[in-house]
């Protein structure tokens, strides 16, 4: 808008000049006209340059994703564990492996989210958890959750492109792209599923999606204005979609509403940075036809996955001088404060923030030394 306004202002200035200059001598007039012509051309060039620069922010055309591809993203492969360390898990090799792709990002709820999701996945045989974390370094606390689960896993640090940091970027795309990239280079067969860290998935769905030949689809609960998003089935085939936001999408479905057989993952498959269109454009990029979709969950009559969302916790900053809590007496408390900070649930600062109180016998104290 600002760019357009700038252009219009230039045009107006040019017209105004034309009107006022009639009373001046011809030579001066010509020189001035030439000067303004140059300014006008420069303004047009500047407009074009700025338009190109901010084009991707409009987020309408596929051009966006092409533009972003040119911005280098430094992904880091943190750790890959191919071993299934779960005891009493029946991992028959004739079952197809499920690659469960979870984009995540550091926030106070990250570790509890991943912890409870790990409890779900720990029940599933032949599963490989691909976690792509939206930060530049390999998170120690995320790795701990993965290790503790005993599930085979791939841990990737995949920060979103710098370009998107300050904008209303589509969350999770950089992470899913990084995970897809790892799968393309390391996996030949299996099932691909995008499961966010805050979604809830019923164990039944895993055994259903394992049978996906090309692309399977199923209802997702707690979505939009209809309470559910699902394909509509007619005689065992997908005949349309029930989703409160059509958004001119060929496949108006949620990210959690489909699974893909990795053998069907073509080289052209890609996910663009277009908020709301990630699923659709990805499915279109696979060359998927509506008649190819395999409906699951009892012909899309059961809800076995939900788009649950977790309330964001406001991370507090606490004014605590950790270096003053020394010696054995205060060690446990100091360790708890360090753990809270490490898990990202509070920022500890020695100079600013809330001065925490300590309670003992229904009274509050300002300092540990008052009670300990």
Please state the residue numbers annotated as binding site for Mn(2+). Answer: 198
Ramachandran angles phi, psi of 58, nearest 5°? -70, -25
Contacts of 114-120 with CB under 8 Å at 24 or more apart are: 114/142, 114/145, 114/146, 114/197, 115/145, 117/195, 117/197, 117/199, 118/145, 118/146, 118/148, 118/149, 118/151, 120/200, 120/201, 120/203
Among 70, 225, 323, 327, binds its own copies (CB under 8 A): 225
Contact 139, 147 (CB under 8 A): no
Q: Binding site for UDP-alpha-D-glucuronate, residues?
A: 103-105, 134, 171, 176, 196-198, 307-309
Going 211 to 217 to 219 to 224, the CA torsion angle's sign is positive
The per-residue DSSP string of 77-91 comes to EEEEE-----TT---
Considering the complex, what minimum distance in angstroms separates the CB of residue 63 from its own copies? 19
Query: CA 330 → CA 23, 64, 361, 366, distances in Å?
Result: 88, 54, 19, 15
Among 173, 192, 293, 346, binds its own copies (CB under 8 A): 346
Judged by CB, which is closer to its own copies: 109, or 181?
109
Residues 236-255 that bind its own copies (CB under 8 A): 239-244, 246, 248-250, 252
The catalytic position among 140, 279, 294, 328 is 279
What sections of 80-211 are H helices per DSSP?
A: 110-121, 140-149, 173-186, 203-209
Residues 98-117 that bind its own copies (CB under 8 A): 108-109, 111-113, 115-116
Residues 39-98 that bind its own copies (CB under 8 A): 88
Question: Among residues 212, 222, 291, 214, which one has the least CA distance to residue 251?
Answer: 291
- Tell me 159's DSSP state: P
User: Would you call 363 helix, strand, or coil by DSSP?
Assistant: strand
Among 32, 135, 200, 270, binds its own copies (CB under 8 A): 200
Judged by CB, which is closer to its own copies: 164, or 241?
241
Considering the complex, what minimum distance in angstroms separates the CB of residue 122 from its own copies? 7
Considering the complex, what minimum distance in angstroms separates the CB of residue 261 from its own copies? 23
Q: Binding site, residues?
A: 103-105, 134, 171, 176, 196-198, 307-309
The C-alpha atoms of residue 256 and residue 199 are separated, in whole angstroms, by: 8
Site string for its own copies, 278-307 (x = CB under 8 A): ------------x--------xxxxx--x-
Is 85 an annotated catalytic residue? Answer: no
Judged by CB, which is closer to its own copies: 39, or 284?
284
The C-alpha atoms of residue 322 and residue 291 are separated, in whole angstroms, by: 62
Considering the complex, what minimum distance in angstroms separates the CB of residue 358 from its own copies? 5
Residue with tokens 């300590």: 358
Q: At a CB cut-off of 8 Å and minimum separation 6, what does 66 contact?
A: none
Judged by CB, which is closer to its own copies: 57, or 298?
298
Considering the complex, what minimum distance in angstroms separates the CB of residue 43 from its own copies? 37
Total binding residues toward its own copies, as defined by CB under 8 A: 77
- Which tokens is 79 given? 């750790």
Considering the complex, what minimum distance in angstroms separates the CB of residue 86 from its own copies? 10
The Cβ of residue 71 has, within 10 Å, a number of other Cβ atoms equal to: 12
Judged by CB, which is closer to its own copies: 180, or 274?
274
Residues 117-176 that bind its own copies (CB under 8 A): 119-120, 122-123
Among 38, 309, 319, 321, binds its own copies (CB under 8 A): 309
Judged by CB, which is closer to its own copies: 81, or 199?
199
Task: Just list the catalytic residues.
Answer: 279
């Amino acid at each position: 808008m600002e760019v357009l306004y700038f252009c219009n202002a230039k045009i107006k200035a040019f017209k105004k000049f034309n009107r006022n200059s009639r009373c001046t001598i011809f030579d001066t007039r010509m020189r001035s006209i030439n000067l303004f012509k140059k300014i006008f051309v420069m303004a047009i060039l500047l407009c074009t340059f700025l338009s190109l620069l901010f084009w991707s922010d409009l987020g309408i055309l596929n051009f966006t994703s092409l533009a972003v591809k040119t911005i280098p993203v430094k992904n880091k492969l943190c750790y890959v564990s191919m071993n299934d360390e779960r005891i009493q898990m029946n991992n028959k090799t004739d079952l197809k492996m499920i690659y469960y792709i979870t984009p995540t990002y550091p926030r106070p709820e990250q570790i509890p989210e991943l912890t409870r999701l790990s409890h779900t996945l720990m029940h599933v045989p032949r599963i490989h958890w691909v976690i792509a974390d939206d930060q530049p370094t390999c998170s120690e606390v995320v790795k701990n959750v993965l290790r503790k689960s005993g599930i085979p896993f791939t841990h990737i640090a995949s920060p979103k492109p710098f370009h998107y940091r300050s904008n209303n970027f589509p969350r999770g795309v950089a992470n899913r792209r990084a995970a897809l990239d790892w799968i393309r280079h390391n996996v030949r067969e299996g099932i691909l599923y995008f499961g966010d860290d805050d979604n809830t998935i019923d164990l039944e769905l895993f055994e259903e999606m394992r049978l996906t030949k090309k692309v399977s689809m199923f209802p997702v609960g707690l979505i939009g204005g209809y309470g559910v998003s699902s394909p509509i089935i007619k005689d065992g085939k997908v005949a349309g979609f029930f989703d409160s936001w059509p958004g001119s999408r060929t496949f108006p479905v949620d990210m959690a509403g489909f699974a893909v057989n990795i053998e069907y993952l073509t080289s052209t498959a890609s996910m663009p940075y277009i908020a709301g269109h990630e699923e659709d454009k990805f499915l279109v990029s696979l060359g998927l036809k509506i008649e190819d979709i395999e409906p699951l969950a009892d012909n899309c009559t059961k809800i076995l996955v939900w788009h649950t969302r977790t309330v964001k916790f406001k991370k507090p900053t606490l004014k605590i001088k950790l270096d003053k809590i020394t010696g054995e007496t205060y060690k446990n408390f100091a360790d708890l404060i360090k753990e809270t900070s490490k898990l990202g649930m509070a920022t500890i600062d020695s100079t600013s923030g809330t001065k925490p109180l300590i309670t003992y016998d229904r009274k509050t104290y300002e300092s540990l030394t008052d009670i300990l």
